[in-house]
Amino acid sequence: MKKDLTISAEARDGRGKNEARRLRVKGFAPAVVYGAEKDALAVAVNPKDVQKILRSATGHNTIFNLAISGGETTPVMLVDWQSDPIKNSLLHVDLKRIDPTKRISVKVPVHVKGDPKGVKLQGGLLEVITREVE
């Protein structure tokens, strides 16, 4: 866990499609923070900060701090996100609060590197059945 990675967020009151569009025009992405036996909280985040996390080595499994404008800072992890395939922009983010005292279960992608000797020398076939493990 990177303790120095913090993203700022603003609590938001509005809900619905129109409010989400207004946020996107202002350069923010609507998000919701839930979990850790607390109520869900609607926030707005900078999509560039979230994109940096998604492109990092740990990707969506990165645990980072979310500093909400009310003064609360909580460790969170990306659970789900929606993006516009044409504009390549972030539309919505789901963040899960992480309780550091409890165990969590995450899915980790499996990347196969190189070619096995049987494929190279003997013309074999490698079938990757599992793309991620939990």
Confirm whether 56 is domain-assigned: yes
Count of domains observed in the chain: 1
Asked whether residue 83 is domain-assigned, the answer is: yes
- Whether 81 is covered by a domain: the verdict is yes
Inside any domain, residue 118? no
Q: What is the pLDDT of residues 52-72, one digit of tens each?
A: 999 988 888 899 999 998 788
DSSP the chain: --TT-EEEEEE----SHHHHHHHHHTT-EEEEEEETTEEEEEEEE-HHHHHHHHHSSSGGG-EEEEEETTS-EEEEEEEEEEEETTTTEEEEEEEEE--TTS-----EE----S--HHHHHH--------SEE-
Range of the domain at 30: 6-104
Mean pLDDT of 105-134: 78
In a domain, 114, yes or no: no
pLDDT for res 3: 56
The predicted-structure confidence for 1-43, as pLDDT tens digits, reads as follows 455 789 999 999 888 899 999 999 999 999 999 988 889 999 9
Tens-place pLDDT, residues 68-91:
987 889 999 999 999 999 998 999
Q: What's the predicted TM-score (pTM) here?
A: 0.77
CATH number of the domain to which 59 belongs? 2.40.240.10
